[in-house]
Structure 1
Amino acid sequence: MQPPFKLRPWAITDLASLVEHANNWNVAKNMTDKFPFPYSEAAGRGFIAFATQGDPVHIFAIEVDGQAVGGIGIHPQDDIHRRNAELGYWLAEPFWGQGIVSAAIGQAVDFAFQTYDIDRVFARPFGTNIGSQCVLEKNGFVLEGRFEKVLVKNGKLLDELVYAIRRAAR
């Protein structure tokens, strides 16, 4: 059964929980290098400052039992990509496999289509991140492309996948 959770704006009071839950190699190995490992208090302060500057807020904490245990964000694109938004997310390992990220993705996609003048939300999981691919597919995202060995993570070349969902599919 999925534990109750909510999406809400990040706050500086989330710092200790953020550092505790983000400081996990099994999380960091599936993230860009902008998500550091080890995850320090300074990194957490910087992230919270970044996450709270949007208007409207578009980067949310995933809260379970009063603690921020992950994050999810919608990042509207600009210029020729202005009808698109990128989805990014992570969740603390103790909460994996409980349906939280899947439900959070659904809420974030609804928020994106209600808030922004976009037609498409996309995500770019690593080819090695099977769990992320599964939750995207569960939410109606379709694999649009696979770019072979274009990412460098920890000295290894990895595939980048592009999944997307269109407004018309919601």
Structure 2
Amino acid sequence: MELLDGKRIILRSLTLDDAEKIEEYASDYEIAKTTLYIPHPYPKGSARDFIAKVLKTEQEGEAVTFAIISKKDHSFIGLISIGPVMEHRRGELGYWVGKPFWGKGYGTEAARLVIKYGFEILNLNRIYAAAFKSNPGSWIIMEKCGMKHEGVFRNHVVKDGKAIDLTYYSILKEEYMNY
């Protein structure tokens, strides 16, 4: 997989060396409560299995996942992925950023790089993303990337026994080209 180069970050493939930071950040309840698939408490030692699963998913062409890395000090910031469905030329964007990096624009910069990758490299026509309605930090990233709000899917998923609303955003290739 290629390296995506931004102003303050690079996006690169995950490696087993990322396991320690993934586990550290994913263990934070503030991260877990904003994502569907990060459990809390995060099981000790499970980041290595997660990375192996991500790499297998990439080999099968189901998703492309990048580690978000600071150019300044090479620190691990978070993860971002795109899951393309080539027959429909669409892809789903997903991401999380470690709490120490919240509110600093890293998620937006990473999302813009992956949206560019989706349209210019994967030749997608539509990229969409969903966030818990209770997580404005995530949908603000989507808005800053030019994505348009499509609606709210009420009680669409269940996390920790509680039904959660998801808010959906998308951007089309033609909108990206004019953004």
**TM-score when normalising by structure 2:** 0.84
Q: Distance in 2 between matches of 1:52 and 1:89?
A: 16
Question: Which of 3, 6, 9 does residue 13 from structure 2 map onto?
Answer: 9
**1:31: how far off?**
0.8
Q: Percent identity?
A: 33
Aligned residue pair count: 165
**1:155: how far off?**
2.6
Question: Which of 103, 106, 128 does residue 112 from structure 2 map onto?
Answer: 106
Q: Distance in 2 between matches of 1:40 and 1:119?
A: 37
**1:76: how far off?**
0.6
Q: Distance in 2 between matches of 1:158 and 1:14?
A: 30
Equivalent in the alignment of 2:3: none
Superposed CA RMSD in Å reads 1.9
Gap regions ≥5 residues in structure 1: none
Query: Secondary structure in 1 aligned to 2:154?
Result: strand
User: Are residues 1:39 and 2:47 paired?
Assistant: no
Q: Distance in 1 between matches of 2:55 and 2:96?
A: 17
Equivalent in the alignment of 1:136: 142
Pair 137,77 (structure 1): closer, same or farther in 2 beyond 3 Å: same
**TM-score when normalising by structure 1:** 0.89
Query: Secondary structure in 2 aligned to 1:88?
Result: strand
Q: What is the letter of the counterpart of residue 48 of structure 1? A: I
Pair 107,138 (structure 1): closer, same or farther in 2 beyond 3 Å: same
Query: Secondary structure in 2 aligned to 1:124?
Result: strand
**1:6: how far off?**
1.6
Equivalent in the alignment of 1:75: 83
User: Are residues 1:122 and 2:128 paired?
Assistant: yes
Q: What is the letter of the counterpart of residue 84 of structure 2? A: P
Q: Distance in 2 between matches of 1:114 and 1:78?
A: 14
User: Are residues 1:50 and 2:53 paired?
Assistant: yes
The CA deviation string for residues 119-155 of structure 1, in whole angstroms up to 9 with x for no partner, is: 1000011111111111100110001121112222223
Gap regions ≥5 residues in structure 2: 1-6
Question: Which of 53, 58, 68 does residue 62 from structure 1 map onto?
Answer: 68
Query: Secondary structure in 2 aligned to 1:60?
Result: strand
Q: Distance in 2 between matches of 1:160 and 1:138?
A: 18
Q: Distance in 1 between matches of 2:122 and 2:86?
A: 12
Equivalent in the alignment of 2:173: 167
